[in-house]
A and B are shown apart, each in its own frame.
Chain A
């Protein structure tokens, strides 16, 4: 087990470092500095600003310094665009929002996905099965940037039930649509995986035995079938969990939640490199670390996995 964890760490740590270096090199390859504007600054002023941000030092020194600050102090430096903010304060501001609707989306997609999958499997080839399969194909094929405008069109414009954007401190009216837009495709995948694994379990011998004993169907499903059927789902849930808590650019942008994705896209449009890099590295590291944790958990839960 421990050798498995070590082996995974040996891949994870270089990956994070590669990510940092790629982002940094790309940033330097960019034509034009961050302070070039329509009206050129006087050279002395520009020199002062560059000294303030440490941009006048040699290339490799800057890079080593950046990597050291990130790794040792978890400090991503100042933002270029928001002059009075650091990248860290922007992340502190945006990440809780993203995390909130991401966690809700995860909970919603697991509950509805598993429920839908189980019902579709138990009532195999009934109308409810067909509806479940149809809905999940739709939700899987359609990306969130298609679902989000449709949601706003229906619930804000036609029905007038929900506000079309904003965060409002996380009021439930504002959270609902981001959660649906984010959760839809994951719910669909979970339902599909759950349905097929449940069908397989329901056809196995121990379920037949349980039925032969005369146990009620509800008890068979909840006590006997659910647990083994959940196992194939686990390996999907890990990456899905990471993807959901890091949120979605589209959801953040479209619903103006003030989440991390909105900062990222705005910074990308304004070439605010430190913010772009900080968020890229943070999200990348989270993704890589969480998938490590999930792999380890999975190996621990399912003894059939060899590590």
Chain B
């Protein structure tokens, strides 16, 4: 334990003597303080905010839209007029079809962010409730609910997702559905484990004793106490969901042209790298890498701040 600084103690003494109330520190205030002290997490959060602004408002500063072909940037012109430049309005250059890469990167980043957010929202809502109900009710219900999760988890998900996309057509909605199908499973397990231990707390017993209905107990007592771990896990889930979507798009099975996503941009850029038009690869790749790292560090910072195990 660190020594408590004498000055602080004296300050507290003075405050108490003056009859001022000492403000308590809630769990969340405590967590915020710990998070703010984590420089990597804080910088990452700032970068993420910038990326989100870029993804949702970048379209306003784009000169070109995502599908108009700049004919002067085609063929032999690609290496000259397709270069990233402020003068032509192609801030990030053009792709091999002469379309503006800045506008396309903005859109790709937006789709990636949206997939990540939708995936983790589904996980938060469905996974938390499913797990909380399973853990709180227990018994045979718990057995059945968890066995369903086991079976779903052992199905090779990527194959089924691709099958879904092939059968019902490649669209962003289908990707959301696929991501939603998988994302809540792990969360349900985590929430169930926590609910099992919360269930035996005195305040839950008290609630049961005075006849509060089970669903109300789950919503009022169990779910709020899951909030910490759910936040951490939901943040760490976002990059996974982004990776799944980019992976599918990289294989050419994701959203249809002219719509695009970071995975599709990386795949097309990588196919052109031997022609000296490296910007086609490096811009989308850079955005994806920065996004994955920043989400990782923010999630890591949140875990340090919120996870009760590490205290």
A280 within 8 Å of B (CB atoms): yes
A149 engages B253 (CB within 8 Å): no
Report A154 CB to chain B, min CB distance, Å: 11
Give the secondary structure class of B's interface. Answer: helix
User: Would you give the shortest CB distance from A122 to chain B, in whole angstroms?
Assistant: 24
A277 to B294, CA, bound (A): 37
Alpha-carbon distance A198/B223, docked complex (angstroms): 36
A254 within 8 A of B: yes
Q: How far is the CA of A276 from the CA of B160 in the complex (A)?
A: 10
Contacts of A137 in B (CB 8 A): 296
A27 beta carbon closer than 8 Å to chain B: yes
What residues of A have a CB within 8 angstroms of the CB of B301 in the complex?
Answer: none
Docked CA distance A137–B292 (Å): 11
Binds B, one of A10-18, A73-81, A168-176, A186-194: A10-18
The residue of chain B having its C-beta at the shortest distance from the C-beta of A22 within the complex is: B160
| Contact yes or no, A15 B151, CB < 8 A | yes
Chain A residues near B63: list those with CB within 8 A: none
Kindly state the separation between the CA atoms of A30 and B162 in the bound complex, as whole angstroms: 13
Note all chain B residues with C-beta closer than 8 A to A143.
243, 246-247, 292
A26 to B162, CA, bound (A): 11
**Complex: how many Å from CA A79 to CA B165?**
20
B166 partner, pick from A14, A30, A150, A250, beta carbons under 8 A: A30
Contact A157 B274 (CB under 8 A): yes
A145 and B274 form a contact (CB under 8 A): no
Q: Is A146 among interface residues, defined by CB-CB distance under 8 A?
A: yes
A269 touching B252, Cβ below 8 Å: yes
Decide: A149 and B159 in contact? CB cutoff 8 A.
no
Contact B162 A142 (CB under 8 A): no
Determine the chain B residues whose CB is within 8 A of the CB of A118 once the complex forms: none
Interface size class of A (residues with CB under 8 A): 35 or more
| Chain A proximity mask over B139-151: 1 for CB below 8 Å, otherwise 0 | 0000000010011
- A145-B267, A250-B250, A269-B252 known; A279 vs B159 contact (CB < 8 Å): yes
Q: Does B172 contact A (CB under 8 A)?
A: no
Contact A145–B253 (Cβ < 8 Å): no
Q: Are A141 and B151 in contact (CB under 8 A)?
A: no
A271 sits at the interface (CB 8 A): yes
Q: B165 to chain A: closest CB distance in Å?
A: 8
**A261-289 near B? 1/0 per residue, CB < 8 Å:** 00011001101000011011001100110
Q: How many residue-residue contacts, CB under 8 A, span A and B?
A: 106
Is the CB–CB distance between B247 and A265 below 8 Å? no
Contact A18 B151, beta carbon cutoff 8 Å: yes
Q: Let me know if B198 is at the binding interface, CB within 8 A.
A: no
Interface residues on B, range: 35 or more
Task: Say whether chain A's binding surface is mostly helix, strand, loop, or mixed.
Answer: helix
The reply to whether B155 and A18 contact each other, CB–CB distance below 8 Å, is yes
B251 on interface, CB distance cutoff 8 Å: yes
Contact A146 B159 (CB under 8 A): no
Give Cα distance in the complex from A264 to B250, angstroms: 14
Tell whether A141 pairs with B159 under 8 Å between CB atoms, given A276-B166, A291-B154. no
For the complex, give the distance between the alpha carbons of A280 and B157 in Å: 10
Interface residues of A in 2-43 (CB under 8 A from B): 11-12, 14-15, 18-19, 22-23, 26-27, 29-30
Chain B: which residue is nearest A143 at the CB level?
Answer: B243
- Other-chain residue from A14, A152, A276, A279 in contact with B270 (beta carbon distance below 8 A): A152
Residues of A with C-beta under 8 A to B267: 145
User: Given the complex, which residues of B lie within 8 Å of A298, measured CB to CB?
Assistant: none
A253 within 8 A of B: yes
A280 near B239 with CB under 8 A, answer no
When A and B form their complex, which 10 residue pairs have the shortest distance between CB atoms, in order from nearest?
A149-B270, A280-B159, A30-B167, A145-B250, A143-B243, A284-B156, A26-B167, A268-B166, A141-B292, A141-B296
**Apart from A141-B239, A268-B253, what 19 extra A-B contacts exist at CB < 8 Å?**
A18-B155, A19-B156, A22-B155, A26-B164, A141-B293, A143-B247, A145-B250, A153-B281, A157-B274, A249-B247, A250-B247, A264-B159, A265-B251, A265-B253, A268-B165, A268-B166, A276-B162, A276-B166, A288-B154
11 cross-chain CB contacts under 8 A = A18-B155, A19-B155, A27-B163, A141-B239, A143-B292, A145-B263, A149-B273, A150-B285, A153-B273, A254-B270, A268-B162
